Amino acid sequence: MVTVSAAGWSDIGKVRKANEDSYLLNEALGLYVVADGMGGIAAERSPAGSR
C-alpha cells in the first residue's frame, strides 16, 4: 500500500510584487494541481494569472 501526504506552499520571490501561482490539493480525490503564474508583460494583459 502507498500512503500519500501533500502540502502546498508558494512564495512571491524577490522580483514580483504579487504572487500569481496557484495550487489545489484534494487528497480525498487524489487531485493535485499546480499552476505557475504568468508574470511579466503577460500579467499586465491578464491580471488573473494562473487562476
Is position 12 within any domain? Answer: no
Is position 46 within any domain? Answer: yes
Cα–Cα separations (whole angstroms), residue 19 to 25, 28, 46, 50: 18, 27, 14, 10
Is position 28 within any domain? Answer: yes
Query: For residue 18, what pLDDT is reported?
Result: 77
Is position 51 within any domain? Answer: yes
Q: What tens-digit pLDDT sequence spans the chain (51 residues)?
A: 888 888 998 888 888 777 778 899 998 898 999 988 776 555 566 656 666
Is position 2 within any domain? Answer: no
Is position 13 within any domain? Answer: no
Is position 10 within any domain? Answer: no
Is position 45 within any domain? Answer: yes
Q: 8 with 27: CB under 8 angstroms?
A: no
Instruction: Give the domain range for residue 48.
Output: 19-51
Number of domains present in the structure of the chain: 1
